[in-house]
A and B are shown apart, each in its own frame.
Chain A
């Protein structure tokens, strides 16, 4: 079997341009790898039209480096005529009748959607174990979780099934599984990528982003995802820029902040040591790294629980068995249609979150919990802005530990959130954040470095990430 998919995107592109290979070759290879690694459970649905789509491209000359490249799309991003389940029983027969804006962009670049990647149900979870279709497995150790919620996307890239994937990140769901599986994952600035067609979990936090093998490929894929979208009022109009433009530059004079909280005792020692190693390396190469105090970081999980659960309780109200999706049988009145459909259709994690979310918004609670959380959210954002007055980037570990064993956080409603303690603050402030692999621990499990940038300054994040990737 050929190993074209192990080449870089640039190399694959050259072969396509020279017509030495066709998009169909790439698709066949990807499908073979998916089949051979079925146990990884990376995909919920394979696009059964992808061979035809690849054949149709055979006649066209490649016009961009992603032409004809297979990609995995997280299953909470809607794809016209291709089943989109959000890893939930309530949508397990749902065939969208429109494409998400990012999917349109992939299709415009003539990329080939190989299938829909496994995930936590409605992106609620941090291990992808809440999937109705079972958890994806970590290719580094199949007894370990892939992380979540974009676990299937991470596994599809880390396992070499496809070179690229799209994930979504509400409270770390791109960066944390990227860290657990040793790949590059970027959550762009809120508003950078259109959310139109991303099935909403927490509208004010969700953002779609690229998950890739390398920093360059990540930045290049972000290039085609971004842009103001008239269908999404929260998408932002920005000058067109090339996110790869600083890749390869050195880091002399770069000012980097390391919040104390990120190396406190909540972080596993091996990881802390790894991060400290990276920091001395950065300092040796001319970057200034200061340990700083940042307030409110320790409130982020609390804010996330309140804001995400509240918004989710409203966003998921639409799954009622009327216009689409599953409807429970034997319902003879409106109320039982709702309660049985949702009772049978949702898994436990989703049920817990939307019940607590409804409670948070109920009556006077809205003031006590929700309004207060929005106030603290504003404060944490101001705190980030304060740091960014003096620093170009903020860094820390992506996770407090490496990928844990399957099953250990399942049904622990509290722990599920603590896996994301270091990545969640970024979503609160709407900032861009990336996880880049910086090595492995003693058991061979990947460790990721988390790089946080100023609003809309993804390019500087890629600069540092590529430097680390290059030299480490």
Chain B
């Protein structure tokens, strides 16, 4: 069976920000190839016009009046956060420099 290369699997895993174990990499080499072969079939669809449909909704988007509504307390805003620090939500330091 055709398989993706290790690098190809690691590349898409990086795009999706998913860590993979060695076993998973091996497993997905085959499984992802099946899906990629599936999606590739779109290339064979003929008689296609240029118009696209990105949503079934075909009317002008409603616009909201500029009025301020209810907001959360800092307690509720951070309620579900796995790591917080006072009213802040905490993450490992964001490397900027």
Contacts and interface: CB of A to CB of B under 8 A. Distances in A.
B16 A354 contact: yes
A234 B55 contact: yes
A359 B93 CA distance: 28
26 contacts: A190-B55, A203-B55, A230-B62, A296-B45, A299-B45, A306-B39, A309-B39, A320-B17, A322-B82, A322-B89, A333-B93, A336-B19, A337-B91, A340-B19, A342-B17, A353-B35, A355-B12, A356-B39, A362-B15, A368-B43, A373-B42, A375-B50, A411-B31, A413-B32, A413-B34, A414-B34
Given A333-B92, A346-B18, A376 B35 contact: no
Interface string A385-412: 0000000000000000000000000010
A223 interface: no
Given A342-B16, A413-B34, A323 B52 contact: no
Given A191-B56, A362-B15, A379-B49, A95 B79 contact: yes
B85 to A, nearest CB: 13
B57 A190 contact: yes
B91 A322 contact: yes
A352 B49 CA distance: 30
Contact of B52 (A190, A331, A377, A414): A377
Contacts of B56: 189-191, 204, 381, 429-430, 455
A228 to B, nearest CB: 9
Interface in B7-49: 9, 12-13, 15-20, 24, 27-28, 31-32, 34-36, 38-39, 41-43, 45, 47-49
Given A334-B94, A343-B19, A358-B16, A302 B41 contact: yes
Contacts of A417: 38
Contact of A327 (B17, B52, B82): B82
Nearest to B50: A375
- Category for how many chain B residues contact A: 35 or more
A374 interface: yes
A373 to B, nearest CB: 6
Nearest to A307: B54
Contact of A355 (B28, B55, B83): B28
A351 interface: yes
B80 A375 contact: no
Contact of B51 (A325, A327, A378): A378
Contacts of B12: 355-356, 358-359, 362
A353 B32 CA distance: 9
B45 A372 contact: yes
B42 A306 contact: yes
B34 A204 contact: no
